[in-house]
Chain A
Amino acid sequence: MQTEFDVVVVGAGINGLAAACYLQRAGLAVAVVERRNECGPFALTEDIFGAGVPVDTHAGVCFLTMSPVWADLDLDSFGLDLVIPEIPAGTIWKDGSNLLYSYDPAKTHAAFSRHSEKDADTFSRLVAAVQSNSVEILERVVFSQPSDEGLDYIWSLGELVGFSPADFKSMNAFEMVDLLYENERVKMSLLGGAAINTFGDVAEKGEGALMQLLAMTVTLGIPRGGMHHLVHSLVRCFRHHGGTLLFNAPVEKVTFAGGRPDGVVLSADSPYPELEIRARHAVNLHVSPPLALEMLGERRLEQADPGLWRRMKDWDMTGHCAFTSYVLFDRVPEWKSASWDPDVARCAFPLRAWDSWEHAKLSFQLAKNEELFGMAADVGEMYNLGAVDPTRLGPKGQSVVVYEVEYPVNLRRYGGVKAWDDRELTDRLHEAHVEDLRAMIAGFDERRVADSYTTPVDNWRRNPSAVYGHELGGDCSGGQWYQGRMPSRADIEGLYFSQGVWPASLTHLGNGYVTACAMGEDLGVRQQDWWTNRPAERFFERLMK
């Protein structure tokens, strides 16, 4: 058995795999070691109802469309088939109205006009200004290392939407939409879109403004058949180029020689007990900072790099974490708001927004105070993928709506993190989601077949790296934002990270990409004709078709 490689990647999350694919394709010998018996612990497609309906139980939409990875690794040829929905997203209110976003600007303008002509004009103008710069913005802000120049560039983007760098930098998302728009629905919809973005906290200065702006660059696709096909395509790509992937291989520790990491040792519990796997050039820890710290050894890191040790030791994983409800219907459900705009039936990813702009502002404070029920189901992401991908339907046409809400994880007022295992509390929260869906879906009770949910702690159980269920490798705000995130490249030679780094983890695979770039440069394999830095290129090609 081969136990010596150029690079060892710890953790077969989608970003770890993406990094591994780049390096393997660039000619290095790469091993990925994974604790679980499959890859992609948050890119899951599971038949949770046993009804033959594939449910994406965590990540529901694929942002790979924004990313250079899709084209560079040619994932289409490894079995990834992205459906590009005509109406990717929208907002649905309980009073029966909606606001839908289309890849056709005229359609989006018409949808906005139903709420406010003036706001429709403003949005069209701003989107055009931002989107015509999308490739550059994504390249410089999302798919590259944070830097001082990058930060200056970020603040300069305010000019695209009419603000000076100084104003943009000191503005949160609420202020920005308040200044730009007049209609409450429009404001709530735009804020909702930014809030689910993971490039920072909408309520924070600067971060919030950037999130609002980046929301206009976001594009998405739906992996036909289920999100897990993304994982399969990455695995096929990695193996096709000769990569080695070990399952059930929990890493006990990283080993060092001459001050640099030279491999990993697997746990005694693994089927390869205490196996040593050598890394000639580099180790990439694609695990969250608390786990990475354990593998590196606190004392060693404190001596080798006190700054990094302090950052990892104090790393905050307690932010917002997903509580997801799933409802199985006997067919693709019909939204009540179809009477407002029938296109809602074809919307893949509608959001449920707040009931008022005042409450929207309040709910962020409620979240910070961990007042669970004050904010229950305030803004929810809904995935109605049966509407755009017929392979998601069950044998009798059944379809699932996924409803995901981010909640604070600590719950001190309910007894701490373990409250997430309290069935009574979680049933109540799930019921609040169900109530919300009932208000938005016609014939809800007649059409509902079954329902279920997963809590942040369930997410932690399925993804050991996702401490507290955190999806982003740790909070992405304040001291952990942009340059405050984990470095891709540690000061210790040969040590790399791809979780907790900038940009925050998403299905655009930016974490893996940025770290692969750093490693590729350091190991002298970055120059490859297929390795572009052209985000969204394949998406625009597809859109033109």
Chain B
Amino acid sequence: MKGSNSNDYDVIIVGAGPNGLCCGAYLAAAGARVAVLEKYVETGGGLVTQELSGFRLNHHAVYMLLAELMPPVSELDLASRGVAFARPARQAAFLYEGGHSITLALDPAESQRSIEALSLGDGSRFRRMADEMAQMCERFLVPATYFPPIPPIEQTELLENSDELGKRMAAFSEMTPREVIADYGFEDPRVEAAFLYLACVFGLDPDEGGLGFLVPIYVHRLLNNSIVRGGSHQLSSALRRGLEEHGGDVITGCAARSLLTEGGRVVGVLAADGREFRARAVVSTLNPEQTFTGLAAGCELPVHFKQVAEQWEWEHTSMFIVNSGIVGEAPRYEGYDKSVDEALMVVMGYQSPEDVVAHYAAASAGEARADAGHASVPSLFDPLQSPAHVPLGPVHALRWETWAPYDRPWGEEAAGFAESCMQTWQRYAPNLAEANCRVRVHWSPHDIAEHLATMKRGSIKHGAYSSLQMGFNRPLPECSSNRTPLAGLYVGGASTHPGGMVIMGPGYNCSRVVAADLGIQLPWEEPEMVAAAKRSGYLSDEAVEEMP
């Protein structure tokens, strides 16, 4: 095909998801000759937006937790390549029995008033939590996303020897998500349920120890949440454009089969169709099983790398997502405060932390429940996501999302389950029953695994978040800083520090390491937030440890 004259590159990246494209875009912009190989015809991985009858269906990722905080957005000038975020003023609403609700907004004062209307004393508790979590995110958690992982003991030492906030974060690291939320002492179980849901909605086990430090990032950033204008896919399109404008190649429909090695060094990739691509460095953004027992099957690696297929823990729950396009009014939550109608995420079905824990536990144990979850109407905040040009009544793109287990006979059950989900939503928003549904597509955990091949068992983050698989340990201590024991092979997907959720940390960090090893000068300074975290003593270059 025209466009690629030679199969010799500086860097080959396997997988054109957000991390692969991000890593490639940085290296291409710095002058490296880059190819990204993608198994599917379309690129973007979880950033998938399908347009059906003019409705944009974001089948997987839709919420951009770090949005404009992600360094690639500014450094790679994604705005001029078409990335803009819509950030609704009202971020999340929680509906309870008896017409009670709370609405959380960008403005913490508004959130506080809403909570006070339900439970007077919890308003100030919320403010304390919100302020503290904002500080933790801004000063440590977000900067640490774009910095190599520090071994757990050294990281705890750094935090404990810093300031009060650091000590508090160190303490959180020992706790479960449930304990972190409980620590703020909310009186009303409904309020506590709300924050526990935000903390755990994207697959954090409420009772998993050693992960409490992740709670602030989910809670704070889900209250500063954005969607991508035009649909999630636009973000990957912009990364790809940047990469291609700098001479990088994106080769689609090209599955990588194995690594090419010479004298114990990785020198390229053999594709399933027999094509050979040669490079000085190969980055895998696949999951550990695919990388170490698939691509690197024939390579010399320490034995525990090969055991990763048996040992790697996939997430305990996956997601079931129903996207639809309707002709009809946006949902009106009857009997609830009007502000609920304007929220980005509307959470239904949880009265207490126990309800949240029970739903998560049910999904982990293989039980599918459609009676709780959360909903969004992206077209309320981004007119491009529904075909409003046809003057035959209002149109909206709807999305329902709930925890669901992988181990179900989804082939038989998915359509009925999707219908039950929509009925749950209708119970809260009866006007949806009158809507004329033009398109509906559901993605069960099986569909996730099928359409996004790195997400085995529907594992949206390429593997569970547990203390043994996070930070310095993700995916293994020897390669969480992107280099592997195999010269020339790097890892940079969601199974690498800092993880999944379209934050591009793995791709960003990996681009730095590869550039350093290849002697490529990256024209960007360290982000100011990282420098500030170092000045505060939370991060330290000396503490970054390379495994032998």
Interface of A toward B, CB cutoff 8 Å: 1, 35-38, 46, 48, 50, 77-79, 236-237, 239-240, 246-250, 269-273, 417-418, 421, 423, 454, 457-458, 460-464
* Residues in chain B near residue A462, CB distance under 8 A: 51-54, 387
* Residues in chain A near residue B230, CB distance under 8 A: 37, 247-248, 270-271
Subset of 20 A-B contacts with CB under 8 Å: A1-B77, A37-B56, A37-B237, A46-B52, A48-B52, A50-B447, A78-B1, A78-B2, A236-B1, A247-B237, A248-B384, A269-B384, A270-B384, A418-B393, A423-B436, A454-B53, A458-B438, A461-B395, A461-B438, A462-B54
The answer to whether A421 and B327 touch across the interface, beta carbons within 8 angstroms, is yes
* Inter-chain pairs besides A421-B392, A462-B51, 7 sampled, C-beta below 8 Å: A1-B77, A50-B447, A77-B1, A271-B82, A418-B392, A461-B387, A464-B54
> In the docked arrangement, what's the CA distance between A273 and B82, Å?
10
Chain B residues with a Cβ closer than 8 Å to the other chain, count: 39
CB closest chain-B residue, reference A2: B80
Chain A nearest Cβ from B135, distance in angstroms = 31
* Residues in chain B near residue A273, CB distance under 8 A: 84
Does B276 interact with chain A (Cβ within 8 Å)? no
Interface of B toward A, CB cutoff 8 Å: 1-3, 49-56, 77, 79-84, 229-231, 233-234, 237, 244, 327, 382-384, 387, 389-390, 392-393, 395, 436, 438, 441, 447
* Residues in chain B near residue A417, CB distance under 8 A: 392
> In the docked arrangement, what's the CA distance between A500 and B77, Å?
38
CB closest chain-A residue, reference B231: A37
* Residues in chain A near residue B52, CB distance under 8 A: 46, 48, 462
CB closest chain-B residue, reference A271: B84
Chain B nearest Cβ from A423, distance in angstroms = 7
The answer to whether B54 and A271 touch across the interface, beta carbons within 8 angstroms, is no
The 4 closest A-B pairs by CB, nearest first: A248-B230, A1-B80, A461-B54, A271-B84
Chain A nearest Cβ from B455, distance in angstroms = 17
Name the residue in B80, B82, B234, B395 with the highest tally of chain A Cβ atoms < 10 Å from its Cβ: B82
* Residues in chain B near residue A78, CB distance under 8 A: 1-2
> In the docked arrangement, what's the CA distance between A78 and B1, Å?
6
The answer to whether B234 and A247 touch across the interface, beta carbons within 8 angstroms, is yes
Name the residue in A239, A247, A248 with the highest tally of chain B Cβ atoms < 10 Å from its Cβ: A248
> In the docked arrangement, what's the CA distance between A356 and B63, Å?
58
Choose among A36, A247, A250, A457 the residue that contacts B392 (Cβ–Cβ < 8 A).
A457
The verdict on A464 contacting B387 (CB below 8 Å), with A1-B81, A50-B447 known, is: yes
CB closest chain-B residue, reference A229: B41
Chain B nearest Cβ from A414, distance in angstroms = 14
CB closest chain-B residue, reference A459: B53
> In the docked arrangement, what's the CA distance between A454 and B384, Å?
21
* Residues in chain B near residue A418, CB distance under 8 A: 392-393
The answer to whether A36 and B81 touch across the interface, beta carbons within 8 angstroms, is no
> In the docked arrangement, what's the CA distance between A236 and B51, Å?
21
Chain B nearest Cβ from A36, distance in angstroms = 6
Choose among B82, B382, B447 the residue that contacts A246 (Cβ–Cβ < 8 A).
B82
Chain B nearest Cβ from A381, distance in angstroms = 20
> In the docked arrangement, what's the CA distance between A467 and B51, Å?
18
> In the docked arrangement, what's the CA distance between A246 and B237, Å?
10
> In the docked arrangement, what's the CA distance between A247 and B56, Å?
13
> In the docked arrangement, what's the CA distance between A376 and B447, Å?
37
CB closest chain-B residue, reference A417: B392
The verdict on A236 contacting B53 (CB below 8 Å), with A37-B230, A421-B392 known, is: no
> In the docked arrangement, what's the CA distance between A50 and B77, Å?
36
Choose among B3, B84, B233, B382 the residue that contacts A272 (Cβ–Cβ < 8 A).
B84
Chain B nearest Cβ from A218, distance in angstroms = 29
* Residues in chain B near residue A269, CB distance under 8 A: 229, 382-384
Chain A nearest Cβ from B167, distance in angstroms = 42
> In the docked arrangement, what's the CA distance between A215 and B327, Å?
39
The answer to whether A461 and B82 touch across the interface, beta carbons within 8 angstroms, is no
> In the docked arrangement, what's the CA distance between A79 and B393, Å?
40
The answer to whether B1 and A457 touch across the interface, beta carbons within 8 angstroms, is no
> In the docked arrangement, what's the CA distance between A270 and B84, Å?
8
The answer to whether B229 and A271 touch across the interface, beta carbons within 8 angstroms, is yes
